[in-house]
Amino acid sequence: MSSPKVLFGFHAVGVRLKTAPQSIIEVYVDPTRRDARMRQFLDRAREAGVRLIEADGLRLAKLAGSHGHQGVAARVQPTEQARSLDDVLEQLEQASTEGPDAAHPPLLLVLDGVTDPHNLGACLRVADGAGAQAVVAPKDHAAGINATVAKVASGAAETVPYFMVTNLARTLNELKERQIWVIGTSDDATDTIFDVDLTGPVALVLGAEGPGMRQLTRKTCDQLVRIPMQGAVESLNVSVASAVCLYEALRQRLKVRGSKA
């Protein structure tokens, strides 16, 4: 069995309480925090039957590796997620054979060069909200999942599979072989994100703020689009850009579903 890990913050621990309380070994709480949010959290924890341990701020900070724990941390067993991107895609393909309403077309978020854990956590949270089935990143020059990512993701690190691949360009080509349209974002693209059809199988590729996608990643994309900028700033933070792109895909898909209702 995999080694236990630590989650911290109300959102991250709260999502685990909701989705897999049996995987929680113990929850540590700051007894000096007695506000309504803590009381509600404790009620949920007691209802779930998890073990509660009082811990001061210093102990919580050591557990979490951060002072942003909000008075809550938990030791948990890792939950079972899809083991590979192929597993996710095969499950989607299998579901699609059961009828048009059985599954949604693949919607993937690909991050090239996102090394900041706060950005990664925010991207995972956006991906969960928009219904993306997975987030993909290269093993090199990318942030991995840690306690900070889980905290910022507000539980999405538990629900959205995150796959770090050895060769990103090769993975994108494999997605294309599965008839998934690979759309990259670039400030100098002609089309905007609002000009393209995102209702079919799509992988949206975003680079880190500043350098953007690597050249090989850019060349591998089927199409490049930009987010139109009307003000003085030249670009958006990668998590904000991810939100714009993913929610435009969701908007288009909801419109299609509504027309079929």
List the chain domain ranges. 5-76, 85-260
Kindly state the average pLDDT of the residues 217-230: 96
Q: Which range has the worst mean pLDDT, 21-35, 100-114, 159-173?
A: 100-114
Cβ atoms of residues 183 and 88 within 8 Å: no
Residue 67, pLDDT score: 84
Average pLDDT, the chain: 90
pLDDT tens column, 198-220: 999 999 999 987 778 999 999 99
- In this predicted structure, what is the pLDDT of residue 102? 47
Query: Which CATH code is given to the segment(s) 5-76?
Result: 3.30.1330.30
pTM: 0.74
Say how far apart CA 182 and CA 47 lie, in whole Å.
45
Section 160-189 average pLDDT: 95
CATH architecture group of domain 85-260: 3-Layer(aba) Sandwich (3.40)
Q: What is the pLDDT of residue 103?
A: 57
The continuous run of DSSP H or E covering 7 comes out as strand 5-8
The radius of gyration of the chain from alpha carbons, rounded to an integer in Å, stands at 20
